[in-house]
Structure 1
Amino acid sequence: MDAPLLIEEAGEGVLLLTLNRPAQRNAIDLDLCDALLAALARFRDEDRWRAAILTGQPPAFCAGMDLKAFSAPDAPRHRVTELIHSLPSLGKPIIAAVNGAAYTGGLELALACDFILAGEGARFADTHAKIGALSGSGMGSRLPHAVGLRFAKQMMLACQPIDAATALRVGLVNEVLPADRLLPRAIELATAIAGHDRELVRLARDVLDRGSAATLGEAIAIEREALAKRKAEGAMRWEAGIPPKASC
């Protein structure tokens, strides 16, 4: 039998979700997108789950959207956008455990989690500009909230990856750990969260999110308007069937 695209493992109140397309660096195609949406819905609705961890099967966390799978002009790319934007609204904390490359949509996926832990070999990049695309999934709004406006501009405009140590320095990640300590530490933190009063955790998380995101909704709206204008002016290069350049 084929291996599942998404591995779900249960702990004490904790759900571990592992993207499992390692040959494609865990890039998100429609099947993986649907599997992750379904798993997150169960996480949201089932009382036994108090916290979740999202990671990727080595060697990567997530390379972003699978451009081959979504190359057709009418491909449902909005499904990936819906997936990424759904994470903050689930009402329960999700920790991103980034064990390798988190590029473009993969970085957006990590940014949509409550916080990020990184392995020492993790790398982060936004390559939208390099492939002739514009983000519609939060890069232009969540990234500057995480690292500040100037460093977000550097990442989005230069498309050069940063290592885990730099990500820690600029505030993108909370901790950097040896590879063999990444998941144990994520499980330790998720288990600690799961052991607290669930309603208090929900309220505290909501207060933090609402307070820090006072202008985030406006920023996301601006980003979506820019994306709509870009599409109205003509398809992005990879949507039009022009192969993207090599990854950064």
Structure 2
Amino acid sequence: MNDILLAEEAGEGILLLTMNRPAQRNAIDLALLDAMNAAFDAFTRDDRWRVGVLTGAPPAFCAGLDLKTFSAPDAPRHSVTALIQRVPHLGKPMIAAVGGAAYTGGLELALGCDFILASENARFADTHAKIGALSGSGMGARLPRAVGARFARQMILSCQPIDAATALRVGLVNELLRAEELLPRAMEIAAAIAAHDPGLIRMSKSVVDRGTEGTLADALAIETETLQQRKAMGAMTWGNGTPA
């Protein structure tokens, strides 16, 4: 794994993945996209890994897509959608440890994880409307299930970020921690999960996932249909006016 994605064994059975483009706030470019797909492949296939922790090098978790890479009309944005949408289906628990901004695609990435832990300096926002785009990666389906429809509307329609305390209050994150406690607490929970029978963990996770994704699939289909309708009305544009 190259240095834009740090992969390390952080405990027995625990894979720690750190998005490492701090100057770009860990925005996803093609290289990081490929590295994350490769890491997810290894995580899924290698029985050594029982649980994963996904985080970002300070000062951010992930700012979403790198617009220098993905604002071009022919940019493979569908590949990022595929990456984000595979996270809930890795077959093993993945914990998001958010220690900074998780914006737009970064928020979708965190929502795809089994649950989110956040430090006090975490911030969350959906800025699709601000850049003239509509999500195709699950924001409109998963965010309402995390925070409720009313608060999801506020985040999606206003594009205003919320702080970590608000994220805890509305149920977006499970725990709010001091910055120095974030990864240790993520590792503590990961170790507790890894200590259990992996087959049973997979089955227990599947029960929860299948029980909640029945209606999620309908919501995702609605989001995809709406995205296609929006595209039929004319090309969407990014913040720089480039067609999306």
TM-score clears 0.5: yes
The runs of 5 or more residues in structure 2 that have no matched partner are none
Q: 1:8 aligns to what?
A: 7
Distance 1:21 1:243 in 2: 24
- Give the C-alpha shift of residue 233 in structure 1: 2.1
User: CA–CA distance in 1 between the matches of 2:137 and 2:67?
Assistant: 15
TM-score, normalising length from structure 1? Answer: 0.95
Aligned-pair CA distance for 1:224: 0.7
CA distance in 2, matches of 1:163, 1:114: 20
Paired position in structure 1 for 2:107? 107
| Aligned twin of 1:53 | 53
Q: Hey, what's the Cα distance between the residues in 2 that align with 1:233 and 1:67? A: 23
Q: How many Å separate the matches in 2 of 1:88 and 1:125?
A: 20
Deviation at 1:237, TM superposition (A): 1.2
Counterparts of 2:124 and 2:71, CA distance in 1: 23
Q: Deviations over 1:22-45 (max 9, x none)?
A: 000000011101100110010000
Matches within 5 A, 1:204-243: 204-238=204-238, 242=241
Name 1:188's counterpart in structure 2: 188
Q: What does the per-residue CA deviation read over 1:179-214, in whole Å, with 9 as the maximum and x for residues that have no partner?
A: 000000001101110110001100000000111222
Task: Give 3-state SS (helix, strand or coil) of 2:35's partner.
Answer: helix
1:67 deviates by 1.2
Which runs of no fewer than 5 residues in structure 1 stay unpaired?
A: none
SS at match of 1:68: helix
TM-score with structure 2 length normalisation? 0.96
Deviation at 1:68, TM superposition (A): 1.3
Q: Give 1:107 deviation, angstroms.
A: 0.2
Give, in whole Å, the separation in 1 of the partners of 2:228 and 2:68.
22
- Offset, 1:243: 6.6
Q: How far did residue 232 of structure 1 move?
A: 2.3
More helix per residue: 2
Flag the 1:243–1:121 CA change in 2: closer, same or farther, 3 A.
farther
2:130 is equivalent to residue 130 of structure 1: yes
Matched, 1:162 2:173: no
What percentage of aligned pairs have identical amino acids? 70
